[in-house]
Chain A
Amino acid sequence: MLLLGKIGLGFLGTALVAGAVVSSEGFIDVKVHEKQTNGTHISFVVPAMIVPVTLKFVPNHYLAEGSADLRRYLPVIDAAISGLADCPDGPLVDVTDPGEHASVVKSGGSIVVDVDDPDETVHVSVPLHAMQSAIDEIAAAGGPI
């Protein structure tokens, strides 16, 4: 019994460590709700580290064109993400038109985008660290930088 308990404790500890590693970069949260009858409703939350890990398995030739486009703006993107990571949480952009509203907020290490228009509402939250990792993976797909 004692041995079984130790084995169980080992599994539990391993699961906790694995969970901590997986959630270390935060979570990507996406919700899309179409307002018409029988519209699409999408909602998922995934560990952010899945994105750069998944990109490693995508063949480079699929990412090559995106990589070339991205490299032109990489210094600006890197500076923007680094700057955003260092600045305090708060609203960055808020736009209101009749019937439409869009906002971009920095919150808890993530960029949160909310859009509400007559057809749908969209909520996307992406951790900045995961954004940087994904961009680095795409940029590296075109060869050494």
Chain B
Amino acid sequence: MKTILAVLAVFCMGSVALAAPERYLHVKVDDPAGREHVRVNIPLSLAEKVIPAINQGQLRDGKVELGNFHANGVDLKMLFDAVKSAPDGEFVTVQEPDTDVRVAKSNGKMIVHVIDKEGKEKVDVTIPWEVAQALASSGDKQLNVEAAIQALEKAGDTTLVTVTDNSQTVRVWIDSRNTSD
């Protein structure tokens, strides 16, 4: 009996030890004067359950329909295809009248710099390459957000997005802490 209890205790402790810690997506928005701030901490397991349940607009069953979606006039599919075939570390640059978008893959990550030519806003996006591939895994016309979230859960602690402009700074990152302080 004592042996059985000891084995059960070891089994339970082992299960607890092996259980993966919860991963969190954090969003932090601050204004330069420090008077306003927003903190959001979303467990990725929650996002993984909610995203597939949303069927609104272009987001259905965990996928975003792209069609001929352009962001600031930039063809995202064309950009992704160009980066995929480019050598590691080499930037693909798309120049628009108001902004330059520079994208590269480097050290297992997809890096996007959006530079506002008037110097008002700067956006830096760093996505683990596995997440970028998961996003593109549903073919040309869809972004697979559900698969991307699952890939994010396996990625290490990383800052995903930073946005800096005159009125606020935004940072989005993932780690295993349940607070953003």
Which residues of the partner chain A approach B37 to less than 8 Å between Cβ atoms? 94-96
Q: How many A-B residue pairs have CB under 8 A?
A: 61
Q: What chain B residues lie within 8 Å of A88 (beta carbons)?
A: 22, 43, 178
**A87 with B43, Cβ < 8 A, contacts A95-B38, A96-B36 known:** yes
Which of A28-36, A44-52, A77-85 is the contact stretch? A77-85
Tell me the bound Cα distance from A88 to B177 in angstroms. Answer: 11
State in angstroms the CA–CA spacing of A90 and B41 once bound together: 8
* Choice from B45, B53, B179 contacting A76 with Cβ under 8 Å: B53
Contact at A94–B49, with CB atoms within 8 Å? no
Instruction: Give the dominant DSSP class at B's interface.
Output: mixed
- The answer to whether A79 touches B179 (Cβ under 8 A) is no
Q: Is the CB of B35 within 8 A of A91?
A: no
A7 at the interface (CB under 8 A from B): no
User: Does A98 lie within 8 Å of B35, measured CB to CB?
Assistant: yes
A4 contact set on B, CB distance < 8 A: none
**A91 & B53 in contact (Cβ 8 Å cutoff):** no
Please pick, from B36, B50, B53, B178, the residue contacting A90 in the complex, using a CB distance under 8 A.
B178
Q: Are A80 and B46 closer than 8 Å at their CB atoms?
A: yes
Proximity bits, A89-106, B CB within 8 Å = 1, else 0: 111111111100000000
Question: Known: A80-B46, A98-B35. Contact between A92 and B40, CB under 8 A?
Answer: yes
Whole-angstrom distance from the CB of A41 to the nearest CB of chain B? 29
Question: Nearest chain B CB to A144's CB is how many angstroms away?
Answer: 20
Contact residues in B for A95 (Cβ distance below 8 Å): 37-39
Assign chain B's interface to a size class.
20 to 34
Contact at B36–A97, with CB atoms within 8 Å?
yes
Flag if B50 contacts A93 (CB, 8 Å). no
How many residues on A have C-beta within 8 angstroms of the other chain's C-beta atoms?
Answer: 21
Q: Determine how close the nearest CB of chain B comes to the CB of A71; give it in whole angstroms.
A: 13
Residue numbers in A under 8 Å from B40 (CB-CB): 92-94
Say yes or no: is B42 at the interface (Cβ < 8 Å to chain A): yes
In A98-139, which residues have CB < 8 Å from any B CB?
A: 98
Least CB separation from A104: chain B residue = B40
Q: Do A91 and B178 touch across chains, with their CB atoms under 8 A apart?
A: yes
**Which of chain B's residues have a CB closer than 8 A to the CB of A80?**
46, 49-50, 53
- Complexed CA–CA distance, A97 and B33 (Å): 11
B178 touches A83 (CB 8 A): no
Q: CB of A75 within 8 A of chain B?
A: yes
Q: CA of A97 to CA of B46 in the docked complex: distance in angstroms?
A: 27
**Structural contact, B50 and A76, CB atoms closer than 8 A:** yes
Q: Does B10 contact A (CB under 8 A)?
A: no
**Contacts of B17-58 to chain A: CB distance below 8 A:** 22, 35-43, 45-50, 52-55
Which residue numbers of B lie inside 8 Å of A, CB to CB?
Answer: 22, 35-43, 45-50, 52-55, 178-179
Q: List 12 A-B contacts (CB under 8 A).
A: A76-B54, A79-B50, A79-B52, A80-B46, A83-B46, A88-B43, A89-B178, A91-B179, A94-B39, A96-B36, A96-B37, A97-B35
Of all A-B residue pairs in the complex, the 9 with the closest CB atoms, nearest first, are A90-B178, A83-B46, A79-B53, A83-B49, A87-B43, A94-B39, A75-B53, A79-B49, A76-B53
